[in-house]
Amino acid sequence: MGYLNNSIITVDAILTKKGRELLARGDGSFKITQFALSDDEIDYTLYNPVHPSGSALYGEALENMPLLEAFPDETQIMKYKLTTLPRGTSKLPVLDIGFASITLKQGASLAITPQTLNYQGATSTFEAGGYTAVIADSRVLNSYTGVGINTEEAEKLNSTTTLGTNVSKTVIGTSVNLTATTVNTLFGDRTRLQTTITVVGRDSGARITVPVTITKTN
Amino acid sequence: MSYKRFDAEDIVISAESVTAPVWTGDIVTLDTFYTSSTQIGGVSGDYYYNIYQTGSDLANARVQYAIGYADKKGSGSLLFNDAIPGKSPSSVLYGQYRNLVLGDEEANFTFGTQTSEYFYVISVDRARYREKLLPGSLDLVLNVSGSQASIRLTDNSNLVTTTTFSDSGRVFELISGSTGTVSSGAKNSDGFTNGSGSYGKFLPDIGVILINGAALDGNIEDGGLEFGVNRTSNPAEASNTRRFYDILNREPKFRLQSEETISSNFIFVRARNAEFNYSTNPSLITGSGELRHNVMINSPQSFITTVGLYNDNNDLLAVAKLSRPLLKDFTKEALVRIKLDY
């Protein structure tokens, strides 16, 4: 992965894997209708509000940093979206799924109902557009569905099945139901399987990733 | 709100023509020709020779173009069956190009004003020319050793006021000259021969050049090369393709460019002053969601590094990375122009 020449501002644009897939499908789903902005790679702890030269240079360390080229994997880019909020906002939307980590025994089920804190003036709210939840390794779950959002896209994602491979699976809903695998062979000599689940508010862009552990019972 | 819909005028589709060298390594003029004894010795060698830019056994060898001989009567190449006259690789090629170019099994090839029943074919490898050949870019040298005759050929695209179309797209005549210009020594002002018509046809849309056999056989004083194409029926040796390779390779020079239309989407991403000034970046906030830096409460700043382009289902279709972060706050508006080619 190379760095982009930052002596002048240029734009390096590529299709994502998903974009190529939809373009090849040729069913009209490759139609750009909206955009989002993100500040991936920016570490705001480098922002210096006590810069001795003044406020114009608070972001000095960030404005001149080199940036990496775009990744084609749509799950690895656009992680931290910029949002539009009223001026004077002191708290930004964050997600709360009720768990700092998730541990399930084999065959056990769990329902996750995310909430968005500090969004649109409410202390806590459920986003109307629902939430996108990505399990990084779909093999560790017997079932994984989103409920509460009945759009065509959400239903299509819920009905997609991928067997036997270590790939992610994405669902959409206001709640997400997951059931741990009962397959012993996945464990090998280990007593637990580990992966992550990433939940993103579809309206706010707020995001949270928590570890998921499946423990062997047999 | 993280997503913003484009207005109708934000997405512009543009098609632009890009010209480029044809040959491997972005070379405009190919001046080394190689054949492959393996290919020539195989079944395909009866029909055509592949020409490489370097030794065919080398790792970087790529087919640049193929040459073959076509004859309506099947002359000049070995019959498939001695008992069936007229059916040979040369008649197969003739029929193939008649079908492709003329689209009529009763029609004959007319080069300029003269009909001819035999010609040579140069078919440029598709990977080389991508979409089509660039008219006016051709400069091909044919050199016959015995008569010391040499001629440079180009197409007459710069001379004609109306373009002629065939079943295979645009058709231009081959003339004496180079890179679209008639040679000062041409026998006629139109660059044609005396009595044999043009030197062939240039078919840019299918990457093919036909060389009029009768023009090659014509007298030198009439603009020909006195080449002597072998039109014997079922000859002892099918030598026409090899001999054509010889006159190409005696003074190897083959200049050609390609032309490709690239469709681009120009997408204008506009962030108004009041938009996109906050971020979900975890380093911007504390664990409870409060801004890490108090100064940002009334003067928030964000740093745009990436633009994501989505469909209605929020699928991320394309991404654009800026080469350096772009500062955004309530006093600034951002306009990013993204060019997507496909």
pLDDT in tens, A72-129: 888 788 888 998 888 888 888 888 999 999 999 999 999 999 999 888 777 778 998 8
User: Which of B265, B283, B324 to mutate: most A Cβ within 10 Å?
Assistant: B324
Which H helix or E strand runs over B335? strand B334-341
Chain A hits for B317, Cβ within 8 Å: 15-16, 18-19, 22-23, 30, 32
The per-residue pLDDT for B89 is 95
Q: Do A92 and B289 touch (CB under 8 A)?
A: yes
Distance from CA of A107 to the nearest CA of B (A): 31
- Assess whether pLDDT exceeds 60 at residue A163: no
Distance from CA of A133 to the nearest CA of B (A): 13
Residue B253's contacts (CB-CB under 8 Å, 6 or more residues apart) are B29, B30, B31, B139, B140, B141, B152
Give the total residue count for chain B: 342
**Considering the entire predicted model, what is its pTM?**
0.65
Chain B hits for A120, Cβ within 8 Å: none
- Assess whether pLDDT exceeds 60 at residue A1: no
The backbone torsions φ and ψ at residue B109, rounded to the nearest 5 degrees and listed phi first, read: -75, 130
What tens digit of pLDDT does each residue of B51-107 get? 999 999 999 999 999 999 999 999 999 999 999 999 999 999 999 999 999 998 889
* C-alpha span between A12 and A26 (Å, rounded): 24
Measured between CA atoms, the residue of chain B closest to residue A79 is B281
ipTM entry:
0.76
Point out the residue among B294, B299, B323 whose CB comes nearest to the CB of A9. B323
* C-alpha span between A53 and B274 (Å, rounded): 27
Environment class of residue A55 by beta-carbon count within 10 Å: exposed (0-12), middle (13-18) or buried (19+)?
Answer: exposed
Mean pLDDT over the full length of chain B: 92
pLDDT (average), residues B260-287:
89
CB A31 within 8 A of CB B11: no
* C-alpha span between B13 and B7 (Å, rounded): 14
The per-residue pLDDT for A4 is 66
Lowest-pLDDT choice from A26-40, A107-121, A160-174, B101-115: A160-174
CB B216 within 8 A of CB B105: no
**B8 contact A CB<8A:** no
**B315 contact A CB<8A:** yes
Q: Do B297 and A55 touch (CB under 8 A)?
A: no
The backbone torsions φ and ψ at residue B64, rounded to the nearest 5 degrees and listed phi first, read: -95, -45
* C-alpha span between A213 and B173 (Å, rounded): 74
pLDDT (average), residues A140-148:
91
